[in-house]
Amino acid sequence: MSKMLKVVGASWLQTKISSYVLGFLGVLAIIALFAGQIERSQEDGNYAATVFYSEKTGYRIEFWGQSNKLADLPRGVARAYFRLDMKTTGWSLLEVETDGTYRDDIQAYAAGIVEGALTSHLIHSHLDNTVRAVCSQHDRQCDRVKDELDKSVNIWKSYAAEREATDPFWHHVSLYYTQISGMYTGWKHGTERSTNTKSDTDISELFWLNSMADVVELQRKMNITIDNNPVNKLPGLSSAFLRVVNETLENGTTTKRIYLAHNAAGSYSSMTRILKKYKLSYHKTSTDEAAVPGLSVEFSGYPGSVTSQDEFYIIRGDNHRMAVSGTTLRNYNKKLWKSVNITEQLPVGPRVTAANKLSANVSSWGRTLAAHNSGTAAKQWLVVDFAHFHRVQQGKVKDKKEIVTEITVNKDVKHTIIHRWGGGRGRGAAWLLEQVPGRTQSADLTAALLDNHYWATYGLPFFKDVAELTHVTKMEAIYGKMFSESESPRSVTFKQGHKNATSIDSIIQLMRMNNITALNDNQTKLPECSDELNCILEEADLWSALGARGDIVRRHQEAYGVIDTKIVSGTTDGDSLDLVAISSPPFTEPPKLNLTEIKMNKGNVASIYTDAFDDEPTIDGLQIRDLVKQKAEEELEMLNKDTLQPFQWSESSFNDITHEGLPDKWAFGTFKPQWSW
């Protein structure tokens, strides 16, 4: 199949003439549309494009500019629009839709083209801030990682191509790689179109952007050091919170509302954030007409990546509403690194993609992810089925207890998979999965969630076998409760705080809690220490906050910490899911005082009235007002003592770290994306 791409953008009329000869009516239609575009005086910030395809001419992209009626945007094989709102909301926005009448591989390649072309500038800046910034100091190590990533891609593309006609899993693995290839084409042409110069893009860099989580463990396996951040010795800072509350509707009936909240943690220089929605009309296999259950997938992501990387997804289809969150697990067992292999086992990105598209329920999502565990991207996963909760409430789900164990051995590497189905009050509405090198363990959470009304993950294994295998239990014995799944500070925070977390606002407050008060109260000089982990643990109360910020600690300051909060919510008997997202390290709004509006009354005068006035025959009203203002300012200063200011590059000690294209001050509030398709 031809991969030729024609990029068009000078004018629509010129574009159409260069593409094919128009009939008279077609010319009139285009002229009318073009004139309509000229008359538009207001630009709406939505940059739109469509990719067309024919067997004769291959792929062709047309850029429609701004101020289009998105519902009427020509569909072609794939259409998309992109909003660069990062400096006003903290997020950019991208929506991509494909036409299911085309072959799946054509859809995937076109979806990649249109995204790569529209976001080409952001891909470059995100690479400059992350991969290129790190590799400028570790050339040889990065070359080894790139070679390993390239080798992995070539192996699995070929392997999937041989099996995709009959195997749904391998079909969607193949589409994953096809979409990245299309993105490279779009990125390359988008760059050349905007700069009028030949592009120096490298597809290996795209492979890296799609393998950020894999590289964490891969460098350990390869015995190289690219990211040597001492904070990585702590339990992962990301966290997720699943909450079920009773809600009374306007008609007086009671239902249950489910919330899934997620905090991502990362480097502040990586905060080139995009909320994406892929509505890709794929089929189960390349020869099957049946549509996939996961018709559309929304996620918090980054430029150049076709998966979230933070691991937060909302999946929709016909009678299908699921949400997924992933939080990082650490491995302290050096012997486990031998189980990491991205050429003998499949990296996490294509496995997550296949699970999102093919899984009709929470357990099948877990089983899909468990297959071909590469040992990279060790995580805890929470999967919730909003629609299935309703069936559980109605008693339409039969109780069943079952344990399935699968053990495979590949080149002396043992892979163990254990799935536990719950019983009692129903099953199949919520699922917990933990995956580390050589082991995947999962269980049904439905009964526990209905009994306890919440579940949380926070970087410490729930399953005892996983904790022992990764030596987290040994870390707890040495360093204490910081490594305890049941008694760690974040575990205690969720236990104490979940009861009051019953709405979007209260859940945001819980997820973004910080310990700035502890920092201000403890200003004693820190003693000298030689062990990095012990040094960091001396400020464990700061690092263990749900809204941890590494830029405010006193020892081992890092431009690293929690960088966002997302919450998806929906009722068990409804059809909609609502997403709210915040892009910024946690901060608190300082109280404001308008000194010109302070009123004179007995209350505020009495608080500053002193014996000095008793000796005065008269009291100067202006003098009293000044003292009232002074008192108010002192009280405001006390309130502001525990205010955590928004992170600001120019005011921080990290301003020399590469952060191209990022906002200077991160003081963004909640954002609700409004999708068009």
What pLDDT digit, counting tens, does each position of 543-573 carry?
A: 999 999 999 988 788 999 999 999 999 998 8
Q: What is the pLDDT of residues 389-444, one digit of tens each?
A: 877 766 555 555 566 677 766 655 677 888 877 655 568 999 999 999 999 999 99
Q: How many domains does the chain have?
A: 1
**Nearest-angstrom CA–CA distance, 356 and 313:** 8
Residue 129 lies in a domain: no
640: in domain: no
Q: Report which of 545, 576, 577, 572 is spatially closest to residue 561, judged by C-alpha positions.
A: 545
pLDDT of residue 26: 41
pLDDT band at 448 (very low <50, low <70, confident <90, very high): very high
The answer to whether the beta carbons of residues 562 and 512 sit under 8 Å apart is yes
Residue 611 has pLDDT above 80, yes or no: no
Q: Which of 260, 328, 331, 319 is nearest to 293 (CA)?
A: 319
Q: Is 579 part of any domain?
A: yes
Give the residue numbers spanning the domain of 407: 243-520+530-583
Strands in 493-559 per DSSP E: none
* C-alpha to C-alpha distance for 206 and 182, rounded to whole angstroms: 11
Task: Indicate if the pLDDT at residue 333 is higher than 80.
Answer: yes
> What is the reported pTM?
0.87
**pLDDT tens digit string along 492-533?**
999 999 999 999 999 999 999 987 766 666 666 666 777 777
**DSSP 3-state assignment of 278?**
strand
Q: What percent of the chain has pLDDT over 70?
A: 81
Is residue 261 in a domain?
yes
In a domain, 475, yes or no: yes
Q: What is the pLDDT of residue 230?
A: 80
Long-range contacts of 226-229 (CB under 8 A, 24+ apart): 226/134, 226/135, 226/138, 226/141, 226/142, 226/145, 227/134, 229/558, 229/560
Q: Which CATH number belongs to the domain containing residue 458 in this structure?
A: 3.60.60.20
3-state secondary structure of 602: helix
pLDDT recorded at residue 266: 96
**Tell me, what's the pLDDT at 528?**
72
Which is nearest to 5 in space by CA: 93, 109, 82?
A: 109
Check pLDDT > 90 for residue 268: yes
CB 336, CB 375: distance < 8 Å: yes
Handedness of CA 555, 559, 565, 566 (dihedral sign): negative
Q: % helix / strand / coil in the chain, to the nearest 5? A: 40, 25, 40
70: in domain: no
569 belongs to a structural domain = yes
Q: Is residue 106 part of a domain?
A: no
Largest Cα separation within the chain, whole Å, is 100
Both tokens of 126, joined, read: 């995100």
The band of 207, judged by pLDDT with boundaries at 50, 70 and 90, is very high
